[in-house]
Amino acid sequence: MHCGYYDSHRCRSCTLIETRYAVQLADKDSRARAVVAAAAGADLDWAAPVASAESGFRNKAKMVVGGTVAHPTLGILGPGRAGVDLRGCSLHEEPIVAALTRLSEFITTAQLTPYQVSSRRGELKYVLVTASPTGELMVRFVLRSTEALPRIRKHLRALRAALPQLVVASVNLQPAPAAVIEGEQEILLTGSSALPLELNGLCLHLRPQSFFQTNTAVAAALYRQAVSWTRALPVRTVWDLYCGVGGFALHLAAPGRQVTGFEISAQAVASARCSAAQAGLEGQVSFAVGDATHLATRSGDVADLVVVNPPRRGIGEKLASHLEQSGVQHVLYSSCNVDSLGRDLARMRSLRPVRGQVLDMFPQTGHFETLVLLERR
């Protein structure tokens, strides 16, 4: 894939962009197979890897704001912590690319001073934009304080006129001078509090502080594969740990099954409950707020199927050991870091991988998703 930003050395984030995509995909598939085999010693059934579009696949843009009020940049920080404008990044879905120009103009209109890392002065740190499959948008302004909030409110109507697809807008407060994108406090600016995401016939609801995979098409394939692999299993109870907005839990709901999702983010659980109610699944699917490891290990019960979709660090020794000793018959592990997946599999020797697949959520980089189905020996 050609990229002017990469060629001019303004951004070198896409570390594999000079490698043909077919080679990228084959290398990721080989790496996942090798790691799983080394960790679990299993000769499992590997499905062909799921390819992504090479560009225009990212449904979320996390843009560092730099420059000046008159000439803001939306992108990354370059040498000397100067802002590098990447509004035309071809990884983002088209509605996001189109919106970034309007948002740059809004920064000037609302007089939002870009935050300067070196001096720790200024207000606007990031602009976060998420797009739904229908092109609707959620925009979040990450501010150092509430100083600029009145001006954002004042000019929001004009922004919505310029961006009629803007459904959810909010301000996130992140006062700490640290490399942390967002803070705990979120101030909603619109009547709508969630961005609807149509996926495989289900409508998920994404709130400002909820997590969802950055590649919608590949996420849809991930959930379809999860349903396919588990449809015929003798499963009456399912735990979905790290459930986020309920993607796995809602897809795995079926007559005769009781699915419970565990998630530390209250916003994500609120989104999941809304989706379950809209889909008429409230009697089959429930959600609990709390740390997934704590809730799972403290429970006296164990589900027939446990789904884990952890952060990059993996599920860790405590939860892996609990699953190993719990008697759970099947585990469906969705991993965005094959190295932590390997470490966790090595801790669960009684749970044998029987199916695996690479799903390429992140073309042009070395990152990818690996889905593995485990069954107790």
Catalytic residue positions, numbered:
336
Strand order in the sheet with 285-289: 45-46, 351-359, 369-376, 330-335, 305-308, 237-241, 258-263, 285-289
Buried b (16+ CB within 10 A) or exposed e, 36-62: bbebbebebebbebbbbebbebbbbbb
Helices (H), 137-241: 149-162, 216-230
Name the residue among 105, 97, 39 with its Cα closest to residue 63. 97
**Structure tokens belonging to residue 12:** 């070198």
The amino acid at 61: A
**Structure tokens belonging to residue 279:** 């889909």
**Structure tokens belonging to residue 299:** 């429970």
Rounded-to-10 torsion of CA 280, 283, 285, 288: 120
CA–CA separation, 247 and 23 (whole Å): 30
